[in-house]
Amino acid sequence: MKKVITYGTYDLLHQGHINLLRRAKELGDYLIVGVTNDSFDRDRGKLNVRNNVLERVEAVRATGYADQIIIEDYVGQKIDDVQKYGVDIFAIGSDWEGKFDYLKEFCEVVYLPRTEGISSTMLREESQEVVKIGIVGCGRVANRFVPESEFVNGVKVVGVYDLDEEKAKRFSDDKDISHVYKTFDQMLPEVDAVYVATPHLAHYEYVRRGIEAGKHVLCETPFVLNGNEAKELYHIAEEKGVILMEANKTAHCPAFNHLMVMIKSGLIGDVVDIDASLSKLWDDDKTLREFDPTQAGGSMYEMGSYPLLPILKLMGIHYENMNLYCRMKDGVDMYTKGVIRYPNAVCTFRVGLGVKTEGNLVISGTKGYAYVPAPWWKTDYFELRYENPADNKKFFYKWDGAGLRYEIQEFISCIYNHRFSSARLRRRESICMAEMMEQFTERKNIYEI
């Protein structure tokens, strides 16, 4: 049996893609199609937003030409795949003429004629409307949002609003944003979407007003601190037909998502324990909002959503109970350790503003464990470790910039494709996080240390 392999992004699958797949299939008896992962587009300088990798895989499968579909995750994978699958022919479009001659050492290389006059880039440029975003709140995270948005196709920050108008003007001048709005209501008619980067307690009000005005909303994490508020907001968003998404950058990190898929596929067996931690030594500057109890300061509110993320992604939202152990000072928790019990697992997390922890992530299973070194929430490397060290595997990735470009990309993709919930951070997971924050607020099952 003669095996053929080809690769592509297959974004906005078109007749050119179909023709190339057909020609590749005709070269042999069995066609393997490698679909590039979402993160590969970053090497082109932009993150495209139309179809995520799962949608692109389904589009390729629907053509009927692929006997097997694989995901291309890393540079150099083509050599590995050719040898792994016993490939006889590597086929690729003629616009790559000569670029893959290095594979001739391993198999025959064929450059196939491309269909003239059509490409995914052309289709995006012809059909893509720019999503105009207005920013609410000019703090530290918003400062990173603007330059990160420039790496995503189909989005433009057009205005900013802050209660402190002078702060908004400085922000606008520094980031070259065209409009500074005196009120939030003044901004709403002139934007398609809103990015809420205000202090935590203001999230609910701005999100609600935004979605009621028919605007898509990306809200910084933690989304809200009350479960019923979270449910209400997602419900209103769906009724209004707009996208509402929590902006947790780790949830949209390519490496973190790959890790979650690998764990769910059973590579370390059944998960029985997860331990995640995150800390920052900020206690020498008490002027920060993070130390003000009237502004939802403290380590749980500020950082809790990050270590809760892998726990909820892997173990689900139906936990039996959660106990919290806190070191309090001046009304805020300088350190919190949480213990979450599931029917067949126990999970722990640690967050601190005045206590330094290792900052790693360990996921323990019945066959092995996953180890992500600090800072795990900026995942660019992880290991799968086993009883026999010879079986250990290491995975390396690239984390670009501040990481916000990944959440922006997913947000715009959801808008274009009318997806009301992202698989990277489900609405039910976002709601569960809000319920956990509410438990902290109500001081249930909390023990001071």
Domains and CATH numbers, the chain: 3-122 (3.40.50.620), 124-249 (3.40.50.720), 254-398 (3.30.360.10)
Residue type (1 letter), 180: V
Cα distance between residue 78 and residue 73, in whole Å: 10
> Average pLDDT over the chain, rounded to whole?
91
Cis peptide before 222 (omega within 30 of 0): yes
Mapped onto helix, strand or coil, the DSSP state of residue 171 is helix
pLDDT value, residue 437: 98
CB atoms within 10 A of CB 97: 10
Q: Could you tell me whether strands 131-136 and 155-161 are parallel, antiparallel, or unpaired per DSSP bridges?
A: parallel
Whether pLDDT at 165 is above 50: yes
Q: Which has the closest alpha carbon to 232: 426, 444, 422, 427?
A: 427
Candidate from 33-47, 196-210, 306-320 with smallest mean pLDDT = 33-47
For helices 227-240 and 203-212, the axis angle rounded to 10 degrees is 20
Mean pLDDT of 322-340: 96
Q: Is the pLDDT of residue 73 over 90?
A: no
Q: Are 328 and 249 in contact (CB under 8 A)?
A: no
State the Cα–Cα distance between residues 90 and 6, nearest whole angstrom. Answer: 6
CA distance 304 to 150: 28
Q: Listing from the earlier edge strand, what are the strands of the sheet with 446-448? A: 393-396, 381-386, 368-372, 361-365, 271-279, 345-352, 332-342, 321-329, 446-448
Cα separation, 77 vs 22, whole angstroms: 23
Give residue 398's identity as a one-letter amino acid code.
K
CB contact at 8 A, 217 and 194: yes
Would the pLDDT of 426 be above 50?
yes
- The predicted pLDDT at position 52 comes to 72
The owner of tokens 């920013």 is: 135
Lowest mean pLDDT among 56-60, 285-289, 413-417, 441-445: 285-289
DSSP 27: T
So what's the pLDDT on residue 123?
47
Q: Could you tell me which residue, 427 or 13, shows the higher pLDDT?
A: 427
Going 158 to 163 to 169 to 172, the CA torsion angle's sign is: negative
User: In the chain, pLDDT over 70 holds for what percent of residues?
Assistant: 93
pLDDT given for residue 118 in this prediction: 56
Token representation of residue 447? 């023990």
- Stated as kind and residue range, the H or E segment containing 368 is strand 368-372
pLDDT digits (tens, 9 = 90+) for 39-57: 655 554 456 656 777 788 9
pLDDT at 78 over 90: yes
CB within 8 A of 310, min separation 6: which ones? Answer: 256, 260, 274, 276, 361, 363
**Mean pLDDT over residues 193-218, rounded?**
98
pLDDT at 12 over 90: no
Which residue stretches of 188-226 are H helix? Answer: 203-212
Q: Is the dihedral of CA 203, 208, 210, 216 positive or negative?
A: positive
Top pLDDT among 103 and 120 is at 103
Amino acid occupying residue 407:
E
127 vs 262 pLDDT, higher one: 262
The answer on pLDDT for 290 being more than 70 is yes
pLDDT at position 30, please? 97
Measured CA to CA, the distance from residue 167 to residue 163 in angstroms comes to 8
User: Out of 115-119, 324-328, 376-380, 387-391, which region has the weakest mean confidence (pLDDT)?
Assistant: 115-119
Residue recorded with tokens 């909820």: 312
Residue 273 forms beta bridges with which residues? Answer: 346, 364
Q: What is the pLDDT of residue 400?
A: 84
CA 10 to each of CA 41, 60, 129, 254: distance values in angstroms, whole numbers, following the listed order: 12, 7, 20, 18
- 116, 266, 249: which is closest to 195 by C-alpha? 249
Among 20-34, 236-250, 327-341, 400-414, the minimum mean pLDDT is found in 400-414
Across the strands, what pairs with 426? none
- How far is it, in rounded angstroms, from Cα 25 to Cα 41? 25
Confidence of residue 16 (pLDDT cuts 50, 70, 90): confident
Q: How far apart are CA 404 and CA 203, in angstroms?
A: 18
Tell me the C-alpha distance between 203 and 232, whole Å: 13
Q: What is the pLDDT of residue 46?
A: 53
DSSP secondary structure letter of residue 422:
B
pLDDT one-digit tens code per residue, 343-381: 999 999 999 998 899 999 999 999 999 999 999 999 999
